[in-house]
Amino acid sequence: QVQLQESGPGLVKPSETLSLTCAVSGYSLTNGYYWGWIRQSPGKGLEWIGSIFHTGITYYKSSLKSRVTISVDTSKNQFSLKLSSVTAADTAVYYCARRRRIRGQNYFDYWGQGTLVTVSS
Amino acid sequence: SYVLTQPPSVSVAPGQTARISCGGNNIGNKSVHWYQQKPGQAPVLVVYDDSGRPSGIPERFSGSNSGSTATLTISRVEAGDEADYYCQVWDSTSDQFYVFGTGTKVTVL
């Protein structure tokens, strides 16, 4: 059974960098698939942030691209998210998930439980 | 950018059928996926590729997609089906690639 677990600080100050890690168990990142980060602001809908392949190939949401870095550590079977220059608008529950692909269309089949990150001084 | 529109809420009595729509321009040409999210929990994939059902998802959950509307149908609704439901498509021409619907709150009366 594939399991994902997010970890990282729950409180980040404005203008600083948000850093989260997603530890994957039950599946080796090197076996394939892309992996992604999705967030959900309080009371709002889901917003995809970016995705990464185990080789390090990444792609990001355009409006966040200048602030986002996603990286992978295959030795630890985990991948990470960094979001710089955060503001209150970045307060959200952050999820990591595994991407699947069918008929050229992508979706997420396994999700972590999510971690709340609050941006506040 | 591509937009997916869902009704904010749907109410249904136990044992009845709930239908949740997801509207989008020529959505019938895309593969639509549906997620269930209960309060305080992560989303769970309930339908993929219009009508596929992941392992462990009851047969009561089904999907269809045609024209400008995709639909998630929940048959014989149970109290445990009360949740938010989101549709999602992949749009390589969109600046966000993964487009999520606005979400529908299903209330079991």
Q: Which residue of B has its CA nearest to A116?
A: B40
**B86-109 pLDDT, tens digit each:** 999 999 887 789 999 999 999 999
Q: In this structure, what token pair is assigned to residue B90?
A: 């992949």
A56, burial (CB in 10 Å: exposed 0-12, middle 13-18, buried 19+): exposed
DSSP letter for B52, please: B
Task: Kindly give the confidence (pLDDT) of every residue in chain A, 121 residues in length, as a single tens digit, with 9 standing for 90 and above.
Answer: 999 999 999 999 999 999 999 999 999 999 989 999 999 999 888 999 999 999 999 999 999 999 999 999 999 999 999 999 999 999 999 999 999 998 888 999 999 999 999 999 9
Return the pLDDT at A18: 98
Q: In this structure, what token pair is assigned to residue B30?
A: 């895309």
Return the pLDDT at A28: 95
Selected residue of A46, A62, A109 to mutate for chain B interface (largest B Cβ count, 10 A): A46
Q: Specify which residues B42 forms β-bridges with.
A: none
Say which residues have a Cβ less than 8 Å from residue A41's Cβ, sequence separation at least 6: A47, A89, A91, A92
Q: How many CA atoms lie within 13 A of A117 on its CB side?
A: 30
How do strand B44-47 and strand A115-119 relate by DSSP bridges? unpaired
Q: How many CA atoms lie within 13 A of A69 on its CB side?
A: 7
Contact B41 A62 (CB under 8 A): no
Q: Which residues of A touch B103 (CB under 8 A)?
A: 45-46
Per-run averaged pLDDT (10 residues), chain B, 109 residues: 95 97 96 96 96 96 97 98 97 87 96
Which member of B41, B90, B102 has the closest CB to residue A105? B90
Which member of B35, B96, B101 has the closest CB to residue A48? B96
Q: Which residues of A touch B102 (CB under 8 A)?
A: 45
Which member of B33, B42, B90 has the closest CB to residue A113? B42
- Closest-CA distance, B102 to chain A, in angstroms, reads 6
